[in-house]
Amino acid sequence: MRRSLVFLALLLAAAPASAQRLTDAVVPEHYTLWFAPDLAKETFRGRATIRAVVAERSNSITLHSAELQFGEVKITSGGRTQIARVTTNPQVETATFTVPQQLSEGPVTIEITYNGILNDKLRGFYLSEANGRKYAVSQMEATDARRAFPSFDEPAFKATFDISLTVDRGDVAISNGRVVSDTPGPEPGKHTVTFARTPKMSSYLVALLVGDFACREGSSDGIPIRICSTPDKRELTGFALEAATFVLKFYNDYFGVKYPFGKLDIIGVPDFAAGAMENAGAITFRERVLLADPKQSSIATRKTIAAVLSHEIAHQWFGDLVTMKWWDDIWLNEGFATWMESKAVAAWQPDWQVDIDAALDTQDALALDTTASTRPVRTKVDTPEEINEVFDSIAYEKTAAVLRMVEAYVGPESFRKGVASYIAKYGYRNAAGEDFWTEMARVTGRPIDRMIRSFVDQDGAPLLTIRQSCVNRSGEVAVGQSRLLAIPDRSSEPRTWTLPACLKTSDSKARCEVIDKPSQTVAVNGCDPVFANADGRGYYVSDYTPETVRVLTARPSLSRVERLSLTTDEWWMTLSARHDIGVFLDLATAFAGDDTPAILGALLTRIDYIANNIVDRNQQAQFQQWIRNRFGPVLTQLGLSGDPQAADYLQGRRAALMEIVGVTGGDVTVQRRARELADQYISNPASVGATLAPTVLQVAATGGDRALYERYRAKLPTLTSQPEEYYRYFNALAWFTDPALIQDTLAFSMTSAVRSQDTGTLLREMMRVPSARQATWAFIKDRWPALLEKLGVFQGIPRVVGSLGNLCTTADAADVRAFFAKHPEEAVERRIQQAIESIETCASVDAHQSAPLASWLAAR
Ligand SMILES: [Zn+2]
């Protein structure tokens, strides 16, 4: 699954389920499933025939089921058919079928008729709506197949599936297999579509989609591919088809095992909780990360589409073909797909600087992993709440970063051979973390099992202290390792990781050493300071002396990823109070003219953080002056608007600079110009570059009046068939600073005009904007029950809770803590702790860096 650009999976109003692992007493082998959705009544009828093997004689069979109403249940074993009595246990989401005569060991067939509801909670078999009509679609991961059919709903119970759907004449039905028959009836006005039998797979990968989907067809390496959407958006599916065509072939070659699911459908779903979901042979997507206007889409949007496609298609092997035994190893699925996505995209579009996006992802992982409330990559989970909470940056971005580090250490081809061998060995089966790293170490002949294990089993992020000395013109680097915590006075147990540290000398040669002790010494050529994370591939933060940071900042041989790595490392030094903030601000001064948009973006985020949280009221004018003096001339040189067709990296730089100078720097000329550009864009979207457009709308909204606000709002209903443009206006609503407009946007977020999948995104955006922050937090507290109902505790709520980390005082931290003490939510418990720690981090930075900031400003 791909989280929604930082997201998650889902919930119903039902009481939280508790742990219920099934036993191995009955093991399924094959399901024959039939569904007849009634879109008007928002229900469905189902029939399931499950062939299984009974391992222990018994009078009953227990499997998973939630919100299903059972009709007749018949069980046949040993040549005898019996009618079963059904009891359900909603608390643990199971049903038990009991028969009078004991079932003997061996094959058993369970025939079940039942009814279910097409819910509005974006989980199981659920209802979606677009353009005034209804769709039935599905999202089973992690534990919601049981809402669509009675099932042994755990990843290790792999089985084959024969699926058929009876739907309205004129509607399309899509499932995991290709269509093998499509016949009218059995009822008037209906047709029944039967799909090819699937290979052995887990229940969470079943897909069901019904509605008037329109598809664009292609193929790759002999596999038919379709990109499907609601009919009004068919024009936007071309780019995804191009990307999928490349990626499928790329993986066939990479894995050395051909794509195993016969055909590949990729479907944009109007209401969708996650970013996308890797159902075998039928991948579902949130529309905004699948559909691109061929004329007016930014590289950022195209990159996201390509990355999410690459992620989900990688899962067809890593996840679908080979599946983790249990959810504690979800990192095997998600970390791998996250690592792999940039590999396929980089091969397809070498100019997209994908390496730097991967380095930015690593920072997301560090943000969580430097809190005391982080978790190990592999964490024990039992309940659906616990399972859903581990789909986080640790499973995704941290694991991906560790894999990237290990791949760089053993070399890409050696790593690929290990992966291919693992896939061949465990195909159509399940594997645990040990199976992966043992196979990788065997094939590569390197100790990477120790490395991976040290990151999977212990939590936290390594801090490498780099201290260099020089004797007789040769250098010696003392490398110390410890755990990095963002709040410096939080103590924790010592940690030692096994990791490759790649030291790059001033002659650009990198030397990789395995670091596995609390401190050790590495000899290097020459006496110039080394850069301790060559290519930014290591999952660690480097602690240099401030003098070394100054030398490295000025070194022209650092690559763009290394400059980003140096920037973010120094920011961690600022946050954890190891260096005075002036070291970072000097680095920001030196990098103000950098030509990589992502580096400007990284500076912007952090300068914004300083401006909003550390700079005192009486320092504000001087700090803004510094921003305008340093970044203003770079923007002037680039030009404020520029040619809408200009190269994307120029537009990306321009966008970052416009925000930093116009919003954080408070430059009224830039604000006025942004307003003019926004007016121009509203009447003629082609007049502003696609990459610059979102920033233009946001900067114009800062200080924008009601007239402008109303124009943004009026655009929304006209853009429902153009997701990218729609979300430019939608997200910009969060940026209006007038208190009355902030209240209007908050109220708007709860109306039916805003899809439940988008409410959390809007509130999160508002928590990022300083002028809206307190009002948004007050609103969240005030409307909490309604938010739980609309967003779902597995879905939008984690996003909203995470965004509370934007608050910054100890009083805020106490307020958040007190609120959740009164409104506990098991499904987001860890996220609440992490948000509180993030607030405390901010308060701590303010306390530690306030005086250093004052002296840095005084020296200007
Ligand atoms: Zn995924």
The predicted pLDDT at position 474 comes to 86
The predicted pLDDT at position 489 comes to 75
Tell me the pLDDT tens digit for each residue of 756-796.
999 999 999 999 999 999 999 999 999 999 999 999 888 78
Q: Which 3 state secondary structure label does DSSP give 51?
A: strand
Does the global pTM surpass 0.75? yes
Of 312, 334, 407, 724, catalytic: 312
Query: How far is ligand 1, taken at its centre, from the CA of residue 401, in Å?
Result: 15
The predicted pLDDT at position 472 comes to 82
The predicted pLDDT at position 12 comes to 39
Query: How far is ligand 1, taken at its centre, from the CA of residue 178, in Å?
Result: 23
Query: How far is ligand 1, taken at its centre, from the CA of residue 2, in Å?
Result: 4
Query: How far is ligand 1, taken at its centre, from the CA of residue 268, in Å?
Result: 16
Burial class (CB in 10 A: 0-12, 13-18, 19+), 590: middle
Tokens linked to 683: 């009447």
The Cα 82–Cα 87 span in angstroms is 16
The dihedral of CA 37, 39, 40, 42: what is its sign? positive
Tokens linked to 626: 């510094």
Cross-strand pairs, 812: none
Asked if 458 and 483 touch (Cβ cutoff 8 Å), the reply is: no
Question: SS3 letters for 2-17?
Answer: ECCCCCCCCCCCCCCC
The predicted pLDDT at position 9 comes to 35
Q: In what order do the strands lie in the sheet with 124-130?
A: 124-130, 133-139, 208-211, 172-175
Q: Which 3 state secondary structure label does DSSP give 606?
A: helix
The predicted pLDDT at position 3 comes to 67
Which residues are within 8 A (CB) of 511 and not within 5 positions of it... i.e. 6 or more apart? 502, 503, 504, 505, 522, 524
CA separation (Å) from 379 to 369, 391, 436, 705? 14, 11, 17, 49
Residue type, 22: L
The Cα 745–Cα 688 span in angstroms is 25
- Say if strands 214-220 and 208-211 run parallel, antiparallel, or are unpaired: unpaired
pLDDT along the chain (860 residues), means of 10: 51 48 95 98 98 96 97 96 97 96 96 97 95 97 97 98 97 98 96 98 98 98 98 96 98 97 98 94 97 90 96 98 97 95 95 92 93 94 92 94 96 97 97 96 95 96 95 90 89 87 90 95 91 96 97 95 97 97 98 94 96 96 97 93 80 93 96 96 93 95 95 97 95 97 98 94 96 97 96 88 97 98 93 96 96 95
Residue type, 311: H
Tokens linked to 649: 């990296």
Instruction: List CB-based neighbours of ion ligand 1 within 5 Å.
Output: 1-2, 334, 337
Residue type, 745: T
Q: Quick one: DSSP state of residue 640? A: S
765 in catalytic set = no
Please report where in the chains the tokens 């609503």 appear, as a residue: 733
Tokens linked to 383: 């309940």
Q: At what angle do helices 581-591 and 829-858 cross, to 10 degrees?
A: 80
Residue 142: asked if its preceding bond is cis (omega within 30°), the reply is yes
Query: How far is ligand 1, taken at its centre, from the CA of residue 273, in Å?
Result: 13
Q: Which of 671, 507, 656 is nearest to 595 (CA)?
A: 656
Q: In what order do the strands lie in the sheet with 94-103?
A: 58-64, 94-103, 85-89
The Cα 514–Cα 405 span in angstroms is 12
Q: Which 3 state secondary structure label does DSSP give 363?
A: helix
- Quick one: CA torsion of 653, 649, 594, 768, rounded to 10 degrees? 40
Query: How far is ligand 1, taken at its centre, from the CA of residue 317, in Å?
Result: 12
Q: What distance lies between CA 185 and its chain's CA centroid?
A: 42
Q: Which of 2, 661, 734 is nearest to 319 (CA)?
A: 2
Query: How far is ligand 1, taken at its centre, from the CA of residue 396, in Å?
Result: 8
Residue 186: asked if its preceding bond is cis (omega within 30°), the reply is yes
Query: How far is ligand 1, taken at its centre, from the CA of residue 263, in Å?
Result: 19
The Cα 133–Cα 139 span in angstroms is 19
Residue type, 689: G
The predicted pLDDT at position 6 comes to 39
The predicted pLDDT at position 526 comes to 87
The predicted pLDDT at position 19 comes to 58
Residue type, 860: R
Tokens linked to 573: 């030094």
Query: How far is ligand 1, taken at its centre, from the CA of residue 228, in Å?
Result: 20
The Cα 140–Cα 122 span in angstroms is 10
What is the enclosing helix (H) or strand (E) of 552? helix 546-553
The predicted pLDDT at position 15 comes to 44
